[in-house]
């Protein structure tokens, strides 16, 4: 599945009851989980037991969990709950009809990939140990540029800040165009200028 070696394939169901019994979510959260998620299956294990690859200091195995959805969207609360299930690196493949979106919890954030047809996803295992493989896999799936020796978590934070700045600048531009008071218009222009300088520094960093 997902272009991974056959030796990594497993087919282990994860009953929702096991999750509820272990974490005891509130009734509202349990209903949300039940309404959105149909079933959970561990479909791949990437580890020294399934491939000729060494553990790293932080990563001893990578699991890919297929999450079959009842609806197109999956609340991030459900992903956060699932991320506590196994004390290992987990990549969630959210499947709704024929579309797969990958989700991973990283750097205290929930990252979501673009959606593709199941047979369009080909996961590459690049790296000398599982830690490097894990970081490269996340970077590729989430389209994160790690060239030049960039660190994954730092890059995620920078990208998030860049997106926020772009949205802020756009909102302030619209506000400035509609502002009639000269002083307030000037203040908005100065704030836009400051944010653009920060954005340029991020882009050049």
pLDDT in tens, the chain (205 residues): 899 999 999 999 989 888 888 888 899 999 999 999 999 999 999 999 999 999 999 999 999 999 999 999 899 889 888 888 777 899 999 999 999 999 998 878 889 999 999 999 999 999 999 999 999 999 999 999 887 778 898 888 888 899 999 999 999 999 999 999 999 999 999 999 999 999 998 888 6
Q: What is the DSSP string of 144-187?
A: ---TTT--HHHHHHHHHHHHHHHHHHHHHHHHHHH---HHHHHH
Q: Is 101 helix (H, G, I), strand (E, B) or coil?
A: strand
In whole angstroms, give the CA distance from residue 46 to residue 119.
19
């Amino acid at each position: 599945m997902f272009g991974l070696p056959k030796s990594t394939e497993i087919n282990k169901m994860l009953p929702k009851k096991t999750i509820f019994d272990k974490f005891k979510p509130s009734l509202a959260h349990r209903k949300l989980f039940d309404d959105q998620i149909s079933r959970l299956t561990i479909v791949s294990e990437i580890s020294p037991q399934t491939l000729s690859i060494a553990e790293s200091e932080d990563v001893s195995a990578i699991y890919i969990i297929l999450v079959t959805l009842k609806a197109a969207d999956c609340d991030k609360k459900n992903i956060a709950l699932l991320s506590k299930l196994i004390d290992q690196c987990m990549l969630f493949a959210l499947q709704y009809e024929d579309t797969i979106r990958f989700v991973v919890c990283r750097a205290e954030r929930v990252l979501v990939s673009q959606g593709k047809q199941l047979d369009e996803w080909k996961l590459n295992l690049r790296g000398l140990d599982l830690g490097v493989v894990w970081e490269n896999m996340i970077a590729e799936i989430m389209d994160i540029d790690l060239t030049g020796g960039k660190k994954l978590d730092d890059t995620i934070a920078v990208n998030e800040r860049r997106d926020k700045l772009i949205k802020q600048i756009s909102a302030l531009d619209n506000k400035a165009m509609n502002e009639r008071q000269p002083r307030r218009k000037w203040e908005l222009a100065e704030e836009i200028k400051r944010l653009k300088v920060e954005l340029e520094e991020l882009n050049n960093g």
